[in-house]
Amino acid sequence: MKESIRIVLLAPGNEEARLRKPFEELEEGLRNELGKDRVRLAYVSVSSPSLAEVAAEAAANDIARIRILPLFLTSGGPLEKEIPEQVSVVRAQVPQLNVELLKPVGEHPRMRTLLHALAREAARL
């Protein structure tokens, strides 16, 4: 049997719906593309669902593994303390779930290439 994996898009939380909307649209697009059971959005703070809630939901849905993709440009800020602490809590509360914390999207070589392209495009305007 193939291992079931869910990607968790981990975004900064915000009380303002308009600031959460881009993350929600990303989740919706990926769910349409990859399948609704393959992708879930979670927030670091303020907003719901939290990483712990999404992890518990994954376990309840017989998901064996979550891969957490932080939607941050750098590994500083919440990725230094808050997110690793939340991951530790999830591992303790849901030990049957394999939890992998990926590097933030901003550190991915393709993201750097995209940002360079956008900056070069802006310089031509």
Q: Was domain 5-124 assigned CATH 3.40.50.10790?
A: no
* pLDDT tens-digit readout, 73-124: 988 888 899 999 999 999 999 999 999 999 999 999 999 999 999 999 999 9
Name the burial class of residue 16, with classes exposed (0-12), middle (13-18) and buried (19+) by CB atoms within 10 angstroms of its CB: exposed
pLDDT for the residue 75: 84
Maximum C-alpha span of the chain: 53
pTM confidence score: 0.91
